[in-house]
Amino acid sequence: MKGIKMSKKESQKQNEEKKQDASASVNAPAPVAQEQVEALTKEVLHWKDLALRTAAEMENLRKRCQIDMQNTAKYANKDFAKDMLPVVDNLENALKHTRVEMGKSTEALPPFLTSLYQGVEMTHKQLLSALEKHKVTKMQDVGQIFNPDKHQVIQQVEDPSKPAGTIIEEMQTGYELDGRVLREAMVIVTKDAAASV
More confident residue, 140 or 17: 140
More confident residue, 28 or 112: 112
The whole-number pLDDT of residue 61 equals 95
Mean pLDDT of 4-23: 68
Quick check: pTM over 0.85?
no
Mean pLDDT of 74-89: 91
- Mean pLDDT, the chain, integer: 85
**Strand-pair category, 151-158 with 167-172:** unpaired
Q: Which tens digit of pLDDT belongs to each residue from 29-76?
A: 556 788 899 999 999 999 999 999 999 999 999 999 999 998 888 888
- How far the first Cα of the chain sits from its last, in Å, is 137
The whole-number pLDDT of residue 1 equals 45
- Burial class from Cβ neighbours inside 10 Å (0-12, 13-18, 19+) for residue 139 reads buried
Per-residue three-class SS string for the chain = CCCCCCCHHHHHHHHHHHHHHHHHHHHCCCHHHHHHHHHHHHHHHHHHHHHHHHHHHHHHHHHHHHHHHHHHHHCCCHHHHHHHHHHHHHHHHHHHHHHHHHHHCCCCCCHHHHHHHHHHHHHHHHHHHHHHHCCEEECCCCCCECCCCCEEEEEEEECCCCCCCEEEEEEECCEEECCEEEECEEEEEEECCCCCC
